[in-house]
Structure 1
Amino acid sequence: MAVQREWLDRDFYADLGVASDASAADIKKAYRKLAAQLHPDRNPGDTAAEDRFKKVSEANSVLSDAEKRKEYDEARALMASGRFRGGDAFGSGGFGGGGGYTTTGGFDIGDLSDLFGGGAGGGAGAGGMGDIFGNIFGGGGGRPRGAQQQPQRPRRGNDLETETTLAFRDAVKGNTVTLKVTSPSPCTSCHGSGAKAGTSPKTCTSCNGSGFIHRDQGHFGFAEPDPECQGTGTKIDEPCPDCSGTGVQIRPRTINVRIPKGVEDGQRIRLTGQGEAGRRGAPSGDLYVTVHVTPDRLFTRSGNDLKLQLPVSFSELVLGTTVSVPTLDGSVGVKIPPNTADGRTLRLKGRGVPKRSGGAGDLLVTVKVAVPPTLDEAATDAIKAYAAAEKESGFDPRAGWGR
């Protein structure tokens, strides 16, 4: 298939701007950064950015899958060493430039045992490099020559990522947001089949639906993707004019997403089946939504607890009082006991962040003395009188301090 042939011609590491020994975390980080920069929503009308976005997504779909990456690396290593001379793995020239298998100057059985026969990679129909090379020696996974090949499976759509921003209180209590996503989606005319409306794909008569044609060369059986159906096992006589037979269109769409209560800043939400559409009716990928939460002017958060600083006067702490305190669901009265120390935290049970399992965290109210910027003469005289009385009582705020 043309797309799989490009696996050998493309440098997926270069597409993502990472080294060939990059870790899975580095690959993930590079993809997220490039996807955010090149996403069609951020570059409307920029075809170059759109093409680059597609290449980055394809590179990530291979390198983020451990098995696909292993197969890709092994195939590229064989090409670099010269043991595999398959400039067109699916053309009439076949392998080794001489139309098939060779033990002279080409590759040997040991080089490809993992790729073609029961190794960690994949044989025909596995969706990996086995699909690229076909099956040598009578089929991958040890099937005898002439055994029926499985049709190539449709390709699942890539996962997509997007972002949304919520106010602090909406994130705590939950909310529904509307996302606009521009991505490959099922064609609205053919509903993803790739065939013109009123028609449907037919089984390829050339390969009887297997996706492969077989021929013998010497002592070996050789299988390669059928050029009539390009290895899919089906043919479309009348391709859908709106998607050119791919079953996919790049178009904007609107998704209403229910953000669960208690979501935290930076949390990712997975929407199953809302990602890129699969080719020719294959399942869609998933959509991951990263939630950013804006700070609140009053509340901060610690797990499921909310925190709040409450300004009070010195007299309120000394004499005690009841103060109205805001919560997520309106105000409540909080009793401050007499002789409460500045900085003391009062706990209001069940007034924090709602929990998915039921109930809620607590609201932690920390009292903080507010000093008046100015005092009139009467207030100043009263403070002086209090200071004198405090001194006569023997109170020393720094008693034992600094020793």
Structure 2
Amino acid sequence: MAKRDYYDVLGADKGASADELKKAYRKKAKELHPDRNSDNPDAESQFKEVNEAYEVLKDAEKKAAYDRFGHAAFEGGMGGRPGGGHPGQGDFASAFSDVFDDLFGDFMGGRPGSGRARAQRGSDLRYNLRVTLEEAFSGLQKTINVPTSVACDECSGTGSESGAEPTICPTCQGMGKVRAQQGFFTVERACPTCQGTGQMIQNPCKSCHGAGRKEKERSLSVNIPAGVETGTRIRLAGEGEAGMRGGPSGDLYIFIEVADHAIFDREGTHLHCRVPVSMSAAALGGDIEVPTIDGGRSRVKIPSGSQSGRQMRLRSKGMPGLRGGPNGDMYIELAVETPVNLTSQQKELLREFEKLSEENNPESSSFFTKVRSFWDSMKG
């Protein structure tokens, strides 16, 4: 029986790219897999035919020969199949293995060769640092103690006694992974002999027991720039966990949290300060003294007749911008305070004041005029 055209077998065009051929193959392999077609006696032969076609077309050299000579390229008259053997003989599962690697390689650490773990990079570390608003305003140098893994001094991080170089694992030949054939699938797993490192240590270091690193608390000096806020992240390259067996160290990430302040509320680079004033001071106006985040004082003029919630701005008295940005502003919000625990004399004076102040409360007059209008409309 004449062989079918390989492109027809895969359902692909002759000018198809490598990605298009792989996509077509995956679709056909899934469709014709014998495990999914137990009621089709021809499924296995069709599945093998698909694998045979892809085995040729996935290889650029074989594909070029096939495109020029067809099936004759792999028969005796043309000098045999490039690379030797007939495409239908040998391990047809190798083509399927490529797709298996493509689908699951990321979950299993990649293909052999990419999983070499002679020197593994250390893990990144996180350190949460709490600072005051004053420290965030001015910036500071701070010493922190970080528990981490450091390179072993005894073996210089190699994990071997006297710093000797590890040997290549005889089981996986340094790949760190081994493969096993299970039916149509090739299963890849970490090498059981070297636990995926690709190396064997003949004489483990007695100090670190072959790990190449030890647990230790380190003191680090950290520069906290002015203007940091909660959520700011500072990266210290190479200050994380030491790598395994001489691998590079990870990074240390410091996450800043700025503590709440008793006087100031922060909004980006702006600061808000709520200042209580007496009823008489709000009515008469005058000057008040307010604190600033740099430890200084500023005089603020209160206009006469000020109401609660009135805001006044002090330019550039807020927080500095991170990385040299302009300073924000400081906003003073007035909170007019009603006196409490009045004496009899104070109450009498306020009653007298109330009688004389009917025309001095425009907001109250306006509100109650609207209320009377509302009630009259309801009656109508």
Change (3 A) 1:394 1:263: closer
Change (3 A) 1:107 1:319: farther
- Deviation of 1:308 (Å): 0.7
Q: How far apart in 2 are the matches of 1:226 and 1:173?
A: 54
Q: Secondary structure at the match of 2:332?
A: strand
Contact 2:118–2:198 (CA under 8 A) maintained in structure 1: no
Computed over aligned residues only, the root mean square deviation of the Cα atoms, in angstroms, reads 4.0
Q: How far apart in 2 are the matches of 1:242 and 1:298?
A: 53
TM-score (norm 2): 0.59
Q: Counterparts in 2 of 1:220-239, with a 5 A limit?
A: 238-239=203-204
Change (3 A) 1:202 1:376: closer
Q: How far apart in 2 are the matches of 1:249 and 1:371?
A: 65
Aligned with residue 348 of structure 1, among 305, 311, 314? 314
Task: Please name the residue that 1:130 is paired with.
Answer: 111
Q: How far apart in 2 are the matches of 1:271 and 1:109?
A: 45
Look up the equivalent residue of 1:366 and give its one-letter code. E
- Deviation of 1:327 (Å): 1.0
Look up the equivalent residue of 1:168 and give its one-letter code. L
Which residues of structure 1 form unaligned runs of 5+?
1-80, 82-102, 135-139, 141-149, 215-222
Task: Please name the residue that 2:249 is paired with.
Answer: 284
1:71-126 deviations in Å (ceiling 9; x for gaps): xxxxxxxxxx9xxxxxxxxxxxxxxxxxxxxx9xx99334421455xx47769xxx
- Deviation of 1:267 (Å): 4.0
- Is structure 2 residue 246 aligned with structure 1 residue 319? no
- Is structure 2 residue 165 aligned with structure 1 residue 184? no
Q: How far apart in 2 are the matches of 1:390 and 1:227?
A: 92
Task: Please name the residue that 1:156 is paired with.
Answer: 121
Q: How far apart in 1 are the matches of 2:351 and 2:262?
A: 36
1:276-331 deviations in Å (ceiling 9; x for gaps): 21111111122233333332111111111111100111222222211110111122
- Is structure 2 residue 353 aligned with structure 1 residue 386? yes
The structure that has the greater radius of gyration is 2
Change (3 A) 1:386 1:244: same
Aligned with residue 309 of structure 1, among 264, 270, 274? 274
Look up the equivalent residue of 1:352 and give its one-letter code. G
Change (3 A) 1:159 1:384: same
Change (3 A) 1:396 1:111: same
Q: Counterparts in 2 of 1:2-401, with a 5 A limit?
A: 108-114=93-99, 116=101, 119=102, 128-131=109-112, 152=117, 154-197=119-162, 199-201=163-165, 238-329=203-294, 330-356=296-322, 357-391=324-358, 393=359, 395-401=361-367
Change (3 A) 1:239 1:394: closer
Q: How far apart in 1 are the matches of 2:92 and 2:291?
A: 75
Contact 2:158–2:166 (CA under 8 A) maintained in structure 1: no
Identity of aligned residues (%): 32
Q: Secondary structure at the match of 1:386?
A: helix
- Deviation of 1:368 (Å): 0.5
Q: How far apart in 1 are the matches of 2:233 and 2:343?
A: 55
Change (3 A) 1:155 1:114: farther
Contact 2:167–2:202 (CA under 8 A) maintained in structure 1: no
Change (3 A) 1:400 1:281: same
TM-score (norm 1): 0.56
Look up the equivalent residue of 2:321 and give its one-letter code. K
Look up the equivalent residue of 1:358 and give its one-letter code. G
- Deviation of 1:239 (Å): 3.7
Task: Please name the residue that 1:27 is paired with.
Answer: none
Change (3 A) 1:173 1:120: farther
Q: How far apart in 1 are the matches of 2:192 and 2:318?
A: 64
- Deviation of 1:269 (Å): 3.2
Q: How far apart in 1 are the matches of 2:244 and 2:303?
A: 68
- Deviation of 1:263 (Å): 2.5
